Amino acid sequence: MSLLSRLLSAVSVVGTAGCVAASATLWLRFRQTGAVGTAGEEPTGLSMIVPLKGIDRRTEEHLEALVAAPVPGAVEYIFAMETADDPAYRVCHRVQTHHPDKAIQLMVAGSAGRRMGKQHNLGAGVRAARYAVLGSMDADVRITGDTLAVGLSVLADRRVGVAYYLPLYRGSGPLGGTVVALYSNYYYALNMAGLALLWRDAPFIIGGLWLMPRTTLERIGGLEQFAGTVSDDAAIGRAVVRQGLRPALVPRTVAMPMEELDLSGGIRQLLKWMTILTLWHPVFWSAAAALTGVQGRSRAGTMRSLALCGAATTARLASVALLNRRVYGIAGRRWPLIAVAYELLGAPLLFGVGLFRSTIAWRGRRYRLGAHGTIQDVTDVPRRV
């Protein structure tokens, strides 16, 4: 067995072990049903802020679902965008008109300039918020039932500085959207949720939907400090941990529709997550080890590499099946096989492209990045609705 083959095998072993550990953790610790949290004082009010830029065909549906969701205690909704000319403004105004009994405010935040648009709009919403708990929700998130109530119950634990939810892409969509859903549901969510449940002080959050006491926000120094990086979720999590508080994963998934992306658009979106370069792809690494083993013409080495490849593939298939059954509650026999094909074909492509990439396009803007995801320059790009 060559040195290269041994190295690739070692990478695959670590990746396979991580896949098994994350799957076992979610099986044992993640619960989609049942009450969670600790009984505490009565809720003192929730300010839910939705930062927006542009719309898609489900934006209004998602905002309607948010406003209709039951919440214990007082609640207000702040829809924040940069200008009143944004198509989102008209959609938000319709939602406001449909619910005259709800406290809904439309916030015009002004231009984000060279900053991250989401954090800029979110910061404006925070300044207008009235209540003791602040929430942030992306416009492509669909909540149902007791989603927010369960999150508030998690915050009853005074050690928790922020509560966040696990995203889940649901439904069907074009090829690019399917690729994004595959990676997010079965790689990103699996590993991040496993880490969060194993490591109680894991210094990150997942930013699609989160809730934070105002006292935490004051202790970390507000949100404007995170507007200069595209890695704002990780930066918020680190800031919370530095204050001796804990980011907590709420045992609920929040649904997102498949992205309306062709294959090239799906690849561009995946390249926002540089975690594609980590050990999350043991099938790919074990296959690479097997290929180098064959070239080394060592029968014993080849057999070991093939056995490792079989173990990595089994772990991946089992992890996808477990997530579908235990966490997501969806049927999808095709997903395990697609995941294996993605690792063998998609992962090396993304690895090669991502290694040399320094820009990302997101929500109508292209960001040129420096070290640690800091924003160096911003340009507007056309966005299809």
Domain regions of the chain by residue span: 3-26+265-359, 31-261
Residue 39 confidence (pLDDT)? 43
Q: What is the rounded CA–CA span in Å between residue 164 and residue 137? A: 10
Residue 88 confidence (pLDDT)? 94
Tokens of 223: 């949100």
Name the pTM for this structure.
0.84
Residue 10 confidence (pLDDT)? 87
Cβ–Cβ < 8 Å for 308, 290: yes
The contacts of residue 9 (CB under 8 Å, 6+ apart) are: 1, 285, 286, 289, 304, 305, 308
For the chain of 385 residues, list the mean pLDDT of each consecutive stretch of 10.
77 91 91 48 81 91 95 94 94 96 95 79 93 95 90 92 94 85 91 91 92 95 78 88 95 89 76 62 86 67 82 93 88 81 80 57 58 60 54
Q: What is the rounded CA–CA span in Å between residue 210 and residue 254? A: 11
Task: Give 144-196 as a 3 state SS string.
Answer: CCCHHHHHHHHCCCCCEEEEEEEEEEECCCCHHHHHHHHHHHHHHHHHHHHHH
Adjacent-strand bridge partners of 229? 374
Tokens of 249: 């994963």
The model's pLDDT over 352-383, given as tens digits with 9 standing for 90+, comes to 665 545 565 555 666 555 555 566 566 666 55
Residue 292 confidence (pLDDT)? 77
Residue 220 confidence (pLDDT)? 94
Exposed / middle / buried, residue 57 (Cβ in 10 Å: 0-12, 13-18, 19+): exposed
Cβ–Cβ < 8 Å for 151, 237: no
* Spatial CA neighbour of 345 closest among 227, 179, 229, 184: 179
Backbone angles phi, psi at 13, to 5 degrees: -60, -45
Residue 320 confidence (pLDDT)? 93
- CATH T-level assignment (fold) for domain 31-261: Spore Coat Polysaccharide Biosynthesis Protein SpsA; Chain A (3.90.550)
The contacts of residue 341 (CB under 8 Å, 6+ apart) are: none
- For tokens 């709800």, the residue is 102
Cβ–Cβ < 8 Å for 120, 92: no
Q: What is the rounded CA–CA span in Å between residue 294 and residue 325? A: 37
